[in-house]
């Protein structure tokens, strides 16, 4: 079991007191599996992704990644999990503007001491980024920037890939291309892929699907 989430709860402070976002989430994910997380805006999809990725801390419940309870870790421990086990692809790309495309791609892999130059070169070629490696993110189109973000995540060969609306800012054709690449590469590295999406079409391409409604899993996983 790569990911095991048990009775996960999270609320944020609102103007009228605590605002519950997640109200007892249970879920599991194995290596090589793909799971789509769907739901209305505000249903808690992104919050769940952030908690699973060790980007935020739950109020209660357990998140185990590769057997490690990340809720019990301190800031440095959670940072190590993010560095070594998890990769996150954001909708807004969130590339590092001061680094070149090449440096952005290899950044997380080098940070975790797992740089595989041959793999990164292969990844860059297959992502169609080879001729852009010396450029800066601002010099690329949105689709190209998202491909850099995906390449950055996969370059580190994480066990768990988390993607938050990774194609939300792209047109349909580009979104399909990016999705194809992400699924193909995740499969090659035997990574588990957990993707938040509004798109039923893209969700249909994933192995399983979970629908969130008001902070709870709605019905049985499909």
- Cβ 49 to other proteins, closest distance in Å? 9
Q: Is the dihedral of CA 99, 100, 104, 109 positive or negative?
A: negative
Residue 215 region, left (φ>0) first, then alpha (ψ -120 to 50), else beta? left
Under the criterion CB under 8 A, does residue 189 sit at the interface with other proteins? no
Q: Which among 40-48, 121-129, 185-193, 211-219 is the span making contact with other proteins, rule CB under 8 A?
A: 40-48
Smaller CB distance to other proteins: residue 83 or 147? 83
- Cβ 56 to other proteins, closest distance in Å? 5
Structure tokens at 4: 């095991």
Number of residues near other proteins (by CB under 8 A) = 37
> Which H or E run contains 130?
none
Q: What is the rounded radius of gyration, in angstroms, for the C-alpha atoms of the chain?
A: 17
d(CA 32, CA 147) in angstroms, rounded, equals 21
Structure tokens at 188: 């090659």
Under the criterion CB under 8 A, does residue 146 sit at the interface with other proteins? no
Which positions touch other proteins (CB under 8 A)? 12, 41-42, 46, 50, 53, 55-57, 75-76, 79-80, 82-84, 88, 90-92, 94-99, 103, 106-108, 110-112, 152, 164-165, 168
């Amino acid at each position: 079991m790569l990911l095991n989430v048990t009775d996960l709860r999270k609320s944020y402070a609102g103007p009228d007191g605590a605002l519950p976002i997640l109200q007892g989430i249970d879920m599991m994910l194995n290596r090589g599996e793909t799971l789509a997380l769907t739901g209305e805006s505000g249903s808690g999809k992104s919050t769940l992704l952030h908690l699973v990725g060790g980007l935020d801390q739950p109020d209660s419940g357990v998140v185990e990644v590769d057997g490690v309870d990340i809720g019990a870790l301190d800031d440095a421990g959670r940072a190590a999990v993010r560095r070594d086990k998890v990769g996150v692809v954001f909708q807004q790309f969130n590339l590092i503007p001061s680094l070149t495309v090449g440096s952005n791609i290899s950044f997380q892999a080098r940070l975790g001491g797992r740089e595989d130059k041959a793999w990164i070169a292969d990844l860059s070629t297959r992502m169609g980024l080879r001729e852009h490696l010396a450029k800066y993110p601002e010099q690329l189109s949105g689709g190209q920037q998202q491909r850099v973000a995906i390449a950055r995540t996969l370059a580190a060969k994480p066990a768990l890939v988390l993607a938050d609306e990774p194609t939300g800012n792209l047109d349909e054709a580009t979104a399909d291309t990016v999705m194809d690449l992400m699924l193909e590469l995740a499969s090659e590295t035997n990574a588990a892929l957990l993707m938040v999406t509004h798109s039923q079409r893209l969700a249909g391409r994933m192995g399983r699907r979970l629908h969130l409604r008001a902070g709870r899993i709605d019905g049985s996983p499909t």
